[in-house]
Amino acid sequence: MSKIGVFPASGGLGGSIVKHLSKLVPASQLILIARKPEKLAELEKSGATIRQADYDSPATLKDAFEGVDVLMLISYASIEIEHRIKVHRLAIDAAIASGVRHIFYSSLAFAGLTDHSVAHVMGAHLQTEAYLASLSNEISYTVVREGIYSESYPIYTNWFNPSKPVNEITIPHDGSGPGVTWVKKDDLGEATARLIISYTESPTDFKYTNEKVLLSGQKEYSLSETMEIIGRVIGRDLKIRQISVGEYGALSHGGLHTYHGVDLSKGWATAWEGIRRGETAVVSPDIREILGREPESYETTIQKLIGGSRG
């Protein structure tokens, strides 16, 4: 049986993918690599191979993927471009040197299924995708354009906190459509896990070899609709006030847009321009086909996420 590697294996998306993989294959088939491997102790007890590696410690990548046939490579958690590209390439090169046959790469749903995006956050993804494509004579790959997490709405609403709600959301967007096809993170994790298993079971019949797959939600919501749903759950009338990119960059974000000491709030603001241009509004049937059911709706996820915590 093919050995399946996941790196990093203990984060939000990685943890979800691992959870679902462990339901689909024996733990002994998994090689799980994480910056803090102690978080995977229970899976190690079940028979999974656990290793330590860190994107920010390149030397740890050298032997991290030994024995892995199929690797789920989850992108570096930052919106920086150059550093992100650098560490992705190091991991890909290490995987090839270790004999990995196929890489699944977790990209993002900005750009839809095109190769162009105005969103800064998509920059490193597009270049990593291009790097994988340039290596197709050495390794096969699948780019998984992971949909915009329903749970990530605070990033797109100026860190709206339902526990300390404000009535007015100030962002560089007026709230009108096109919008976002929000999708629950755990549905993405399950669909990605099922994609990986589909490849391992029949590589020659796998339709996403050297291709992109978009895992979107099944309905588009404008940012105004996004906030209306949250407002109904918390019992408030929430409004969006459009401000300029410069004004957004000048706001205090409590370090939430700071990476390695650099404030990237203005870079992040390009995400709203991507939304405005319809980059996150593309609905693909792929997640429904892979899961064999409808993914959870944004309304349901928000009710569970916010309503449950309030009551």
Q: pLDDT per residue over 99-146, tens digit each?
A: 999 999 999 999 999 999 999 999 999 999 999 999 999 999 999 999
In DSSP terms, 145 is beta-bridged to 107, 214
Q: Is the pLDDT of residue 151 over 70?
A: yes
Q: Is the pLDDT of residue 308 over 70?
A: no
3-state secondary structure of 144: strand
Confidence band of 311 (pLDDT split at 50, 70, 90): very low
19-44 mean pLDDT: 96
- Taken in order 306, 78, 9, 37, the sign of the CA dihedral is negative
User: What is the token pair recorded at 2?
Assistant: 């093919």
Of the candidates 70, 64, 71, 13, the residue with the CA atom closest to the CA atom of residue 35: 64
3-state secondary structure of 10: coil
Q: What's the DSSP call for residue 20?
A: H
Where in the chain is CATH 3.40.50.720?
A: 4-147+183-215
H-helix or E-strand spanning residue 51: strand 49-52
Of the candidates 271, 222, 221, 227, the residue with the CA atom closest to the CA atom of residue 245: 271
Percent of the chain with pLDDT over 90: 90
What is the CATH code for 4-147+183-215? Answer: 3.40.50.720
213: amino acid identity, one letter? V
The correct CATH number of 152-178+218-282+297-310 out of 3.90.25, 3.30.300, 3.40.50, 1.10.10 is 3.90.25
Distance from C-alpha of 61 to C-alpha of 156, rounded to nearest angstrom: 33
Angle at which helix 123-134 crosses helix 82-97, to 10 degrees, equals 30
Q: What's the DSSP call for residue 266?
A: H
Where in the chain is CATH 3.90.25?
A: 152-178+218-282+297-310
Per-residue pLDDT reduced to its tens digit, 268-290: 899 999 999 999 999 999 999 99
185-196 mean pLDDT: 98
Distance from C-alpha of 241 to C-alpha of 258, rounded to nearest angstrom: 24
**Average model confidence (pLDDT) across the chain:** 95
